[in-house]
Structure 1
Amino acid sequence: MARADLQKKPNEVAAMFDGVARRYDLTNTVLSFGQDRRWRTRTARALDLQPGERVLDLAAGTAVSTAELASSGAWCVAADFSLCMLEQGRDRGVPLVAADGLHLPFADQTFDAVTISFGLRNIVDPDAALRELARVTRSGGRLVVCEFSTPVWGPFRRIYMNYLMRALPLVARKVSSNPDAYVYLAESIRAWPDQRELGERIHAAGWDDVAWRNLTGGVVALHRGVKP
């Protein structure tokens, strides 16, 4: 089975996610102790979608999140560069598009809102991806990034980092179709910027009114922005 490293070569990352696709949703639920559902709900609330709006869900994986967003009455498209992930989501009832986050196959100002959950840190150039998301969003449109972050309370942060590097790969071996991929997961979370730094990078990529909210003590953070 494929396992990417922190160089995040696109072909290696795509192959890695192809390898975890079959049991991806189950593995996420187990590893997050069921918090993944809550995180999706909070992301949907932050987007505040209205019926008829056009929405891009980038790095959508099996399109679980996209289908939940579509329940708002918005038109939602799932985009991912892992064909196996998209294949797992073929029965979700939403459009599926194979797409590279650095070169999205959409015209300028196509969407009213864009979102990416747990995928930005897997793109080789996250800043370019944020700019590309801004390109396909209309003026006044919204961005929500849901991503792993840095727990804000020191003792919990130490416990969490220990879980990432030791327990998470062990649990993944029990439930994942490609457990080695979750070693990369742990490494990529540790290397990811904290809440403030990511907020600054989102602003530098062309988004205004950037703010964030911590979930689960900062294990995850929701960052929001508006295109000028």
Structure 2
Amino acid sequence: MTVCNARPGPAFPVPGTVILMSRATLDKDPREVASMFDGVARRYDVTNTVLSMGQDRYWRRATRKALGIGAGEKVLDLAAGTAVSTVELGTSGAWCVAADFSVGMLTAGQARKVPKVAADGTRLPFGDNVFDAVTISFGLRNIANRGEALREMARVTRPGGRLVVCEFSTPTNRLFATVYKEYLMQALPRVARAVSSNPDAYVYLAESIRAWPDQAELAHQIAGAGWSAVRWRNLTGGIVALHAAYKPQR
């Protein structure tokens, strides 16, 4: 099945090029972010499991269930990284493609037998109205122009199709939120030094989570990009939130 068209893609680093970049900055230059994720790719999955205390598996299952996908449907998993999330989506019987702008991440997941495409979230290399559903997990935060990315996701989704954004968010309990922010800035980088192949990148992770909008603001931004019936569900006390929406029917 071919879903790509000739839309121009991003200028990715040439395979084998060494870019001396340990972490990205919050202006989220695409080359810096891609380079940073290339640097953490080797131990990315195990690091996520350790840092989330195993909750990453639960978040992936919840994302799949929220999409409501089934056999015969076409699903885009954007910012899929090593495609572990794409494999989870595929247990539904849907045809799922992993897309990411880090070639290193896609390469690290080469053993996972799902279609993979190098793609910039603001210029997706797919035709209009191709997918029944699109999802992005922990990746929208790393795109400089999230409104443009949300509009691109709408463009490639058929009318009536679904969107689910799985992203770190704001804990609902104020006391817990304070403890959580302290963990992000203090404990998370220290734990990452023990398990990650590029621990400095997790300083960016902590900073980007702290700078991210809360649940209501993100819902407003999703609606502003053309999606309808936007709602959210908190997971793990609001550490993560699932935002779901539909592309309006014509």
Note if 1:109 corresponds to 2:123: no
How far, CA to CA, are the matches of 1:65 and 1:213 in structure 2? 19
Q: How far did 1:130 drift?
A: 0.3
Question: Which structure shows the higher helix fraction?
Answer: 1
Q: Which residue pairs with 1:133 in the alignment?
A: 153
How far, CA to CA, are the matches of 1:41 and 1:71 in structure 2? 10
Query: Which segment is superposed worse, 197-206 or 85-94?
Result: 85-94
Q: How far did 1:154 drift?
A: 0.6
Note if 1:14 corresponds to 2:22: no
Note if 1:98 corresponds to 2:118: yes
Taking only the aligned residue pairs, the percentage that are identical comes to 71
Structure 1 counterpart of 2:74, one-letter code: R
How far, CA to CA, are the matches of 1:92 and 1:48 in structure 2? 22
How far, CA to CA, are the matches of 1:68 and 1:194 in structure 2? 26
Q: Which residue pairs with 2:232 in the alignment?
A: 212
Structure 2 counterpart of 1:120, one-letter code: L
Q: Which residue pairs with 1:81 in the alignment?
A: 101
Q: What stretches of structure 1 of length at least 5 have no aligned partner?
A: none
Give deviations 1:70-91, integer Å, cap 9, x for gaps: 1111000000010110011111
Q: Secondary structure at the match of 2:123?
A: coil
Q: Which residue pairs with 1:55 in the alignment?
A: 75
Q: Which residue pairs with 2:50 in the alignment?
A: 30
Q: How far did 1:2 drift?
A: 2.0
Q: What is the aligned length?
A: 228
How far, CA to CA, are the matches of 2:30 and 2:149 in structure 1? 13
Q: 2:202 aligns with which of 162, 177, 182?
A: 182
Give deviations 1:47-97, integer Å, cap 9, x for gaps: 011101000000000000101111111000000010110011111110000
Q: Which residue pairs with 2:170 in the alignment?
A: 150
Q: Secondary structure at the match of 1:162?
A: helix
Q: What stretches of structure 2 of length at least 5 have no aligned partner?
A: 1-20
Q: Which residue pairs with 1:221 in the alignment?
A: 241
Q: Tell me the TM-score normalised to structure 1 length.
A: 0.99
Structure 2 counterpart of 1:82, one-letter code: S
Q: Which residue pairs with 2:63 in the alignment?
A: 43
How far, CA to CA, are the matches of 1:149 and 1:73 in structure 2? 29
Q: How far did 1:136 drift?
A: 0.2
How far, CA to CA, are the matches of 1:218 and 1:72 in structure 2? 26
Note if 1:121 corresponds to 2:172: no
